[in-house]
Structure 1
Amino acid sequence: MSRRVTLSDVAELSGVSAITVSRVLNQPEKVSEPVQNKVNAAISKLGYIPNRSASALASARSGVIGVVIPSLSNNVFNDVLRGVYDVTGPAGYQVLLVDTHYSPIEEERMIRTLLGQAPEAMIITGGNQTEHARKLLEKAEIPIVQIMDKLDEPVDMNVGFSHRKAAFEVVERILAAGYTKLGFLGARMDPRAQQRLQGYRLAMEQAGLLNDDLVLTTPRPSSIAMGCELFKGLVAQSGGLCDAVFCVNDDLALGTLFECQRMNISIPKDLAICGFNDIEASALVNPPLSSVRVPRHEMGVVATEMVIKAIKGEVISERVVDCGYQIKMRESTRAVA
């Protein structure tokens, strides 16, 4: 078995000291570009793989940013991750990613595991951590950004928006278009879905139109097929009373649209449909679906830039960032004639 290539081997081939090689790997901004090119060429030729654990022990830097998300299969979080990777790569950081499967207990376990890898910072989805998980984060003494939700008391820093406010405003817009029997469909019902339901209920209550027969939710995972199933359930539960449906996300809205097409329900003549998140498909179906657009990629970028600035000891002028949202009213909620 061949001997493992060492940092000293890279130094010898590139004609620089081992310390210089270490700087190229961990603090490239302190090394001239010609020297970086020479060292990187030696690394490529030798097939050298840095020992990150040893490097972290020696320099008190791991070069790792931990990222905690609830789902790898949800396109919403994929957009956020694109933003994270767009910043970490050029900045010389690696991402250690964990999936909590929407479980606060699993999230606590993953946070403990990540902290054991000595990350220099962490980006975490939401603020619904267990009490013990929050204590772990508070004692970690590293920069932490909680994303997606706008939090009253973040552990450290926060980039997000109010899901409750967004839902409230979109319901007001649908009611202003002339619809009065607006139903709500929700699945998974994680904290963000719960906040959207709260916004819906508040807007309907203030309009004097709240009717629990028009609300149907399930703890089961969200999908287009679940949207079909929930809409059929809502029709049965309400006796066909709805003239509009606000879905907790676009998957359910797409499922509702497809089920309406199977049932010969004309959109928006017979029923208006609105989703949330504004995924690409929402604007491409016929009719295009109204939705709430969230700057997910930008959220990932801003959160990552914040933690890297904090790692470098730079001043963070705005530690809580409201990234906002846009309500996109399309053909599926056209005003009632």
Structure 2
Amino acid sequence: MTDAPRRTRRSSGRITLDDVARAASVSPITVSRALRGERGVDPVLTLRVREAAERLGYVPDPAARALASQRSSQVLVLVPMLSNTLFVDLLEAVHRTLFPVGYQPFIGVTHYDSAEEELLLRTYLPHRPAGLLVTGFDRSEAARQLIAHSGVPCVHLMETSTAPGVACVGFSQVDAGAAVTRHLLERGHRSIAFCGAQLDPRVLQRAEGYRRCLREAGLYDARLEMLSPERSSIALGARLFEEMLQRMPDVDAIFFCNDDIAQGGLLAANRLQVPVPGRIAIAGFNDLAGSDQMVPPLTTMRTPRSEVGRAGAEMLLGLMRGTLAQPGCIELDYELIVRGST
């Protein structure tokens, strides 16, 4: 037996499990069991197999392993964007939960496009991932059918539902939006605007919470809503702030749907020398990085995106392992962070 790597006849030149078996003078099944860490393998053999695998540079083939075991170790995670730290925090929590127990998150980005999400599902579901994590409930009927008929356990993130048989982890975007608006009312503001961007379902749910709260107070005015389909950004927030003041000069508070456009609004107020909160109060949503460093610091709603990622991944683990008998809904808390801008 030689120490030189013996390569497979495959055109790829990939070192195979059979190569490791020959180098370690054991059977391929022993190699497989030893590398999986099964307790029934003699520790001496396990050490020999691992040394041979390291010497040859063997990397397990996940596709072959999935074919042999009839199950994958990949979990498909679909999020709208990676440029928003909201979803980065969620993904980090998913990874921290799944990776240590042998599952690899595989990320797909939908760009808030139902057709793109459907294409991702059609591309990756045939590979039989072990589980699926998706954002929210707003998708095409074709995508819903793909998920329903795939047989792959699925958990919905960031929103909640009372529908039977639906697994989800999130919080009430409507109630959170109402809570921000209620805070502004309690501070004495009566002409409260809402500025929204991106206009994904969760933003529209926050807007609905804003409307409900103001209608209950008898103060709702549709002219105080400004909804832009553009991507949420600091630059857009600055522009919306200026346009709102031009359109409704008496506005005394603005609820921005996300912290980045709220930060833009604050920067525009400083540039235009509009006192905050003396002349106008500004509130955001999501408590993104930098909001506590604004001048004045931004009042915002802290949302549980890391907790959503962790709890959603744990729920999916239960479904994949068969330890969770019935899908359910976990509704998490949110927290209003009151700072100097209100």
| TM score, norm. by length of structure 1 | 0.92
Q: Which runs of 4+ in 1 moved over 6 A?
A: none
Structure 2 residue corresponding to 1:276, chosen from 282, 285, 290? 285
> Residues 1-337 of structure 1: matches in 2 within 5 Å?
3-14=13-24, 16-23=26-33, 28=37, 39-153=49-163, 156-238=166-248, 240-315=249-324, 319-333=328-342
Paired residue secondary structure (2:341): helix
1:15 Cα deviation after fit:
5.5
After superposition, the Cα gap between the structure-2 partners of 1:280 and 1:234, relative to the gap in structure 1 and judged at 3 Å, is same
Which one has the largest radius of gyration?
A: 2
Deviation string 1:187-230 (CA, Å, 9 cap, x unpaired) is 11000001011110111111111112211111111101010011
- 1:72/1:78 contact within 8 Å kept: yes
Structure 2: state its 5+ residue gaps.
Answer: 1-10
Aligned length: 331
Task: Specify whether residues 8 and 267 from structure 1 end up closer, same or farther in structure 2 by C-alpha distance, changes over 3 A only.
Answer: same
Contact 2:198 2:230 survives alignment (8 Å): yes
Contact 1:127 1:154 in 2 (8 A): no
C-alpha distance after superposition, 1:77-100 (max 9, x if no partner): 000000011012211111211101
- Distance change in 2, residues 1:46/1:229 (3 Å): same
- Deviation, structure 1 residue 23: 3.9
3-state SS of paired residue (1:179): coil
Measured after TM superposition, the shift of residue 159 of structure 1 is 0.5
Measured in 2, the distance between the counterparts of 1:98 and 1:32 equals 38
Q: 1:167 to 1:55 in 2, by over 3 A?
A: same
**Following the alignment from structure 2 to structure 1, what is the Cα–Cα distance between the partners of residues 181 and 39?**
53
* Contact preservation (8 Å) 1:295, 1:325: yes
- Matched to 1:263, the amino acid is L
CA gap of 1:232–1:20, structure 2 versus 1, over 3 A, is: farther
**Distance in 2, Cα, partners of 1:229 & 1:154:** 43
Q: Which digits, 9 at most, give the CA deviation of each residue in 1:3-52, with x for residues without a partner?
A: 32101222344555422433455x54666795766645443332222222
Structure 2 Cα separation of the partners of residues 62 and 205 of structure 1: 50
| Percent identity for Structure 1 against Structure 2 | 38
Runs of 5+ consecutive residues of structure 1 not aligned to the other structure: none
Deviates more, 1:145-154 or 1:322-331: 145-154
- TM-score after normalising by structure 2: 0.90
Which residue identity is paired with 1:61?
R
| 8 Å CA contact 2:128, 2:152 repeated in 1 | no
Name the Cα RMSD after superposition: 2.2
